[in-house]
Structure 1
Amino acid sequence: MTHTFLYDGDCAFCTKAAQFLEKHVRTTAEVTPWQWADLAGLGVSQAQAEEAVIWVEANYQQAGPDAIAVLLRRAQWYWRPIGWFLSFKLVSKAAWPVYRLISRNRHKLPGGTAACSLPQAERDRLTGR
C-alpha cells in the first residue's frame, strides 16, 4: 500500500500548503485531496477527512499535526528531525490547539477563501455537486 496524505482540496490555503509539500518535501506519500481519494478504500470517513489532514498507511492512520509529523519523518533526512520533534507527546499536545486555530481560521490566511470556512455539505450545495 502506498502512503497517502489527505488534505482539503476545496480549500485554497490547504492546496497551497500541499503544493509546498510536493515541491519542497519529498515524501513516500501520495499527497492528494480527500475529495479525489477512495476514502472507503483507505479506511477514512468523510467526517475524518473534513476534520483534519490525514496520513494513511497499512493499518495506521494519524491526523492533524500528528499526520504532518509522520509525513516529515518519512521525508528527506533534513525534515526528519522536525517530524520527530513534532512526535513528542508534549509537543504534539501543544500542536493540536495551534492546528485547530489555523484550521478554523484558514479562510483568513493567505491563499484562503470563504469556502474554506464552510462544511463540505454546504460547499457541495453551493457548487451543485
Structure 2
Amino acid sequence: MGHSRETPHIPSAGLFLYDEDCGFCRRSVDFARERVRTRTAFAAWQDVDLSAFGLTPEQADEQAWLIRSDGDPVAGGDAIAGVLAHGRFPYRTLGRLLALPGVRVVTRLAYRAVAANRYRLPGGTAACALPPRGA
C-alpha cells in the first residue's frame, strides 16, 4: 500500500480509525464530519502506527476503532457511540444513549451486522468485504 505510518495527536474527542479501502467506511466518515459535525478526528488505519495504540492491522481491518484521549482504544459499536457523543444535537444524545449498559449490547450487535455486510451497503464494494474469520 505504501502508506507512511505516523502516530497522530489524539484530540479530547478521540481519534477514529477507519478502513480507507472501504467505500462504505469513507462515506460514513464523511457523514460524521458533515452531518454529525463531531469533534472527533479521523484517520485511515492504514496511515497510522497501530502498534502505538496496541492494535494490529488484523484488528483494525476487522472493525473501526476510537482511540480515546487517554489512549484507550474502543472498538465497533462503542467507537461509533463515542463519535456520535462528540457531535451536535441530536447525534450527541444518540451517542450517549447507545453507550448505556443495556443498550450497548444491542449497539455492539448492530455494529457487527453492519460491518459484516458493509460491502452490500451504499458506497460499499467488494473491497469492503471483511476477510472470513480465522483467515
- TM-score higher than 0.5 here? yes
- Residue number in structure 2 paired with 1:98: 110
TM-score normalised by structure 2 residue count = 0.79
Partner of 1:83: 95
Alpha-carbon distance in structure 2 between the residues aligned to 1:110 and 1:71: 20
Matched residue, 2:19? 8
In structure 1, the residue matched to 2:124 is 112
Q: Tell me by how many angstroms 1:77 deviates.
A: 4.1
Cα distance in 2, alignment partners of residues 50 and 115 from structure 1: 11
- Tell me the C-alpha RMSD between the 2 structures: 1.6
Which residue does 1:70 correspond to in 2?
82
The equivalent residue for 2:7 is: none
Identity of aligned residues (%): 38
- Unmatched tracts of structure 2, length 5 or more: 1-9
Residues 36-95 of structure 1: CA deviation (Å, up to 9, x unaligned): 122123332212211211110223221111111111112224322101100011211012
Specify the SS of the correspondent of 1:31. Answer: strand
Shift of 1:25: 2.0
Q: How many residues align?
A: 119
Higher helix share: 1
- SS for the counterpart of 1:50 is helix
SS at match of 1:32: strand
Distance in 1, Cα, partners of 2:122 & 2:85: 26
Runs of 4 or more above 4 Å deviation = none
1:25 and 2:5 aligned: no
Which whole-Å CA distance do the structure 1 matches of 2:40 and 2:52 have between them?
16
